[in-house]
Structure 1
Amino acid sequence: MSEFTFSFNGEWKGGRAGKGHIRTEGIDNTVSIGAEMNGPGQGTNPDELLISAVATCYMMTLGIALDRQGLPYEKITVTSKGIVSDEGGLHFKEIIHYPATIIEKGTPRDTKEKILKAMEQAEKDCMIAKALKGNVQIYINPELKET
């Protein structure tokens, strides 16, 4: 069994109009409440970080699965939207991924079907999505694009 540790350091000053700073191994950024939620909108915010984490995990998990299965593709693109609701207290209601796997024109039908299946499975295998399971609905609207 392996365990992995990730570290975070942060600081914050102020209330709703406040701002702070976060640091991890790969992030060094200002944070505040997003402008869409009546905050200052400086730097990033937890909502963007959460959707970025889920979408990045999905994208990487899919790439690993396609490689492991030997399925050919040129690249993966993902656009994601997070819906936050204040019904019953402010919370993430759902995340919708719009992934596209770019494949060569003329890719055989059975290969396309395997890629689409991998696109659906990647959401179930993503460790960040697993952490949100039961709290946030995650939907996938997969697409294959031929070049």
Structure 2
Amino acid sequence: MAQHVFHLKAHWPGGRNDTGSIATKNLKTIVSIPPEMDGPGIGTNPDEMLLGAAATCYIITLAAMIERSKVDKIDLTMESEGFVDVTDGVITYEKITHRPVVTIKEEQLKKFSTLLQKLAIKAEHSCMISRALKGNVEVEAILTIKTQ
């Protein structure tokens, strides 16, 4: 078994409504509490980063599955949304919805439409971040197929 270790350094010199910073090998950014949660909204925040981790893991997984399936995709784009509930001061990350859009050639639609729908669901179940969230945050994928 090979284990990968990822490192992050964080610095938070102030109080709740101040800013801090995080740094990894390839990411350095300012962080704070988002304005939706009465924070200063400077830089990114944990909610966006969780959504970013889930979205990038999902789209990379889906792209790899499409490539292995021999579908000649023209493009793959996606928008994702994270739904956070705040009730009585308790903050709960409830759901992430990915909306991938795969563009393929018109003549491939009939042959690969069902397969692409299956891959969109399989990628959600296979992505490491989705698996880490399982049981805590609902993750769904709603695929759109476009043709050229």
| Divergent runs of 4+, >6 A | none
Q: Quote how far apart the aligned CAs of 1:87 are.
A: 3.3
1:29-60 Cα offsets, whole Å, 9 max, x none, are 00001112111111110000000000000000
Instruction: State how far apart, in whole Å, the 1-side matches of 2:104 and 2:16 are.
Output: 45
The TM-score, its normalising length taken from structure 1, stands at 0.95
| Structure-2 residue corresponding to 1:69 | 69
Deviations 1:113-137 (CA, angstroms, capped at 9, x unpaired): 1112111110000000000000001
Describe the superposition over 1:58-77 as per-residue Cα deviations: whole angstroms up to 9, x where unpaired.
00000111111212111211
Structure 2 counterpart of 1:98: 99
What corresponds to 1:19 in structure 2?
19
Aligned partners of 1:105, 1:93: CA distance in 2, in Å?
37
Partner of 2:46: 46
SS of the counterpart of 2:43?
coil
Q: Which runs of 5+ in 2 are unaligned?
A: none
CA distance in 1, matches of 2:133, 2:109: 35
For 2:122, give the aligned amino acid: Q
Give the letter aligned to residue 102 of structure 1.
Answer: T
- Amino acid paired to 2:61: T
Partner Cα separation in structure 1 for residue 40 and residue 80 of structure 2: 23
TM-score (norm 2): 0.94
- Residue 146 of structure 2 corresponds to residue 145 of structure 1: yes
Letter aligned with residue 2 of structure 1: A
Aligned-pair RMSD on alpha carbons? 1.2
Q: After superposition, what is the alpha-carbon deviation per residue over 1:64-105, rounded to whole angstroms, capped at 9, x for unaligned?
A: 111112121112111011011123721101111111111112
Q: For structure 1, which segment, 75-84 or 125-134, has the greater mean C-alpha deviation from structure 2 after superposition? A: 75-84
Q: Distance in 1 between matches of 2:139 and 2:20?
A: 29
Q: How many residues align?
A: 147
Residue 108 of structure 1 deviates from its aligned partner by: 4.1
Q: In 1, distance between residues paired with 2:36 and 2:87?
A: 17
Q: CA contact under 8 A between 2:104 and 2:147: conserved in structure 1? A: yes
% of aligned pairs identical? 36
Q: Which moved more, 1:102-111 or 1:49-58?
A: 102-111
